[in-house]
């Protein structure tokens, strides 16, 4: 997003706004251009990293992304309505009655302590009875450029496909007031069919860098995502959509950023409302994305977003946490960057990195993108296509892997993931590492954007607590079946577990320990 302004509010000219859509459009434009070169039997782009090759074709219009997203909207099934069984409480009353019936042989102080602890346990259960961890599977595409989730709004529920975007903080959905051809291919929210809908009255609009627009009015309704209900969520209802995410078959965007990054200051994000309404156990969203190469033919088992906690079956070792260094963005500090064994020099500005689930690949400032590709043998630059690298690198193992040092630990992206094989022409492929300068209006960016190319190779934890932080761990490449990633309608499936706070567990363990001691004294 290059320009975004809510009517009645002054724009924020110092802020560089969302770029992930712009980059996706720019990438697909390059891919279409490369395909047109291939079709016309022109020679391969020539040149070296230090001497850009001359353009060999004329620019084409921005590509429509639906062709490479496998018609996501039509493939997403209705979400599952049956949640997994909740963890059942042990029958503590029977244990206490058993001890009390034989009170002549038990210590009265123990009984008193049991009563007191059980009362505290019951109070904690009452306070935490609605704390959950919610699992929301996502569907990928064959380019690993986007992962789409299911969610619902209204009563009865109306189902939609959205992108979870940690780089923005607003929720918006296409509405029935949008009558353009673009919207006709989307599922649209109908406020007249929801008994819990309330009109907000304010209007909103978003302008993208490719001059497409999304605009409409604000509404308020109940929503559900990952099996977690949220009451009275304010969201945008798009009545004008000239392109933007509609090109990918996505009905809207659900921002997972901070409240401070929302375009209307008094609107709480869905995650913030989950926390305030005591619907998740912890103020955490964790992410495990599956690569297209590891998925089945339907690309349905694309990964999972977990609201309220982490799943230890999805990573190995410990989680390395880094403090967030921005009040608005999920931004961290990069210690070092390597391509193979070669360290790339990071300026102070370039050491800041935003970790963004709404962006497809990785963006560097221009000097760093150049240094990175110069370290790759036979890489080339084309003035229209950008950086090109040998497709044969897709079969390399680790000699040219990219490694980020974060919090003193190494987290890598294999060189094979940086090669975009769908763009192959005469042995050259587009690189998934690009420069901000390739995006009109974003050339002044001096930091790093770590998009899904990086995230799909790690297990990532977004912690929203008072001192926000981001955690990284080594992901398992194949998810265990227990989290349901093999369910065919995964993009719509969502469920939640009841979770118990650590204090609740400690009280339970103390109670059960005292019961065991009392029983032993009776023997």
What is residue 5's DSSP assignment?
Answer: E
Q: How far apart are alpha carbons 278 and 224 in whole angstroms?
A: 14
356 a catalytic residue = yes
> Tokens 């560089």 correspond to what residue?
16
Q: At how many degrees (to 10) do helices 108-127 and 92-101 cross?
A: 170
Q: Could you tell me what percentage of the chain is helix, strand and coil, using 3-state DSSP and rounding each to the nearest 5?
A: 25, 30, 45
CB 447, CB 354: distance < 8 Å:
yes
Using DSSP's 3-state secondary structure scheme, residue 173 falls into strand
Pairing label, strands 469-475, 342-344: unpaired
Q: How many Cα neighbours within 13 Å face the side chain of 227? A: 28
CB 309, CB 499: distance < 8 Å:
yes
End-to-end CA distance of the chain: 72
Q: How far apart are alpha carbons 71 and 411 in whole angstroms?
A: 33
Exposed / middle / buried, residue 120 (Cβ in 10 Å: 0-12, 13-18, 19+): middle
Q: At how many degrees (to 10) do helices 502-522 and 108-127 cross?
A: 160
Dihedral, CA atoms, 350, 353, 354, 357, nearest 10 degrees? 120
CA distances from 224 to 155, 233, 332, 455, 479 (A): 10, 10, 30, 25, 24
Q: Check 356, 417, 434, 463 and give the catalytic one.
A: 356
Q: How far apart are alpha carbons 206 and 209 in whole angstroms?
A: 10
Exposed / middle / buried, residue 440 (Cβ in 10 Å: 0-12, 13-18, 19+): exposed
Q: How far is CA 170 from the centre of its chain?
A: 14
- Tokens coding 63: 């590509």
382 a catalytic residue = no
- Tokens coding 175: 């509405």
Pairing label, strands 362-364, 352-355: unpaired
Q: Check 165, 222, 417, 434 and give the catalytic one.
A: 165
Pairing label, strands 469-475, 459-463: antiparallel
Q: How far apart are alpha carbons 147 and 70 in whole angstroms?
A: 12
What is residue 272's DSSP assignment?
Answer: H
Neighbour tally for 292: CB within 10 Å: 14
What residues are annotated to the active site? 165, 356
């Amino acid at each position: 997003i290059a320009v975004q302004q809510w009517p009645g509010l002054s724009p924020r000219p110092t802020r560089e706004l969302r770029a992930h859509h712009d980059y996706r459009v720019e990438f697909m434009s390059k891919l279409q251009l490369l395909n047109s070169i291939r079709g016309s039997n022109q020679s391969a782009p020539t040149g070296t990293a230090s001497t850009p090759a001359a353009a060999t074709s004329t620019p084409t219009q921005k590509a429509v992304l639906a062709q490479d997203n496998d018609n996501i909207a039509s493939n997403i099934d209705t979400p599952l309505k049956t949640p997994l069984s909740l963890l059942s409480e042990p029958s503590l009353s029977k244990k206490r009655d058993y001890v009390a019936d034989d009170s002549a042989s038990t210590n009265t102080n123990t009984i008193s302590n049991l009563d007191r602890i059980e009362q505290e346990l019951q109070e904690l259960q009452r306070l935490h009875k609605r704390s959950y961890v919610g699992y929301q599977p996502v569907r990928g595409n064959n380019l690993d450029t986007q992962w789409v989730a299911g969610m619902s709004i209204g009563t009865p529920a109306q189902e939609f496909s959205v992108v979870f975007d940690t780089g923005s903080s607003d929720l918006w959905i296409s509405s029935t007031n949008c009558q353009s051809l673009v919207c006709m291919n989307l599922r649209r929210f109908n406020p007249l069919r929801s008994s819990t809908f309330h009109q907000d009255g304010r209007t909103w609009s978003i302008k993208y860098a490719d001059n497409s627009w999304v605009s409409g009015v604000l509404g308020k309704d109940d929503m559900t995502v990952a099996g977690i209900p949220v009451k009275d969520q304010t969201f945008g209802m798009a009545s004008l959509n000239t392109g933007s995410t509609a090109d990918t078959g996505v009905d809207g965007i659900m921002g997972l950023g901070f409240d401070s990054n929302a375009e209307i200051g008094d609107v709480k994000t869905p995650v913030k409302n989950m926390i305030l309404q005591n619907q998740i156990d912890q103020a955490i969203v964790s992410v495990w994305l599956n690569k297209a190469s590891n998925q089945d033919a339907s690309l349905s088992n694309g990964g999972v977003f977990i609201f309220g906690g982490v799943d230890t079956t999805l990573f190995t070792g410990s989680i390395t946490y880094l403090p967030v260094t921005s009040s608005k963005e999920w931004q961290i500090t990069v210690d070092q960057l390597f391509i193979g064994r070669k360290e790339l020099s990071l300026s102070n500005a370039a050491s800041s990195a935003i970790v963004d689930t709404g962006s497809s690949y990785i963006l560097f400032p221009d000097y760093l993108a150049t240094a990175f590709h110069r370290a790759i043998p036979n890489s080339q630059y084309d003035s229209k296509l950008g950086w090109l690298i040998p497709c044969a690198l897709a079969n390399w193992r680790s000699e040219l892997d990219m490694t980020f040092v974060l919090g003193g630990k190494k987290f890598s992206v294999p060189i094979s993931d940086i090669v975009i094989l769908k763009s192959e022409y005469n042995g050259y492929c587009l690189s998934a590492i690009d420069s901000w300068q390739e995006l009109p209006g974003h050339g002044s960016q001096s930091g790093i954007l770590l998009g899904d190319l990086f995230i799909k190779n790690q297990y990532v934890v977004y912690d929203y607590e008072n001192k926000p932080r981001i955690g990284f761990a080594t992901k398992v490449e194949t998810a265990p079946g227990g989290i349901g990633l093999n369910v065919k309608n995964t993009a719509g499936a969502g469920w939640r577990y009841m979770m118990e706070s650590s204090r609740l567990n400690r009280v339970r363990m103390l109670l059960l320990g005292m019961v065991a001691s009392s029983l032993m004294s009776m023997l």
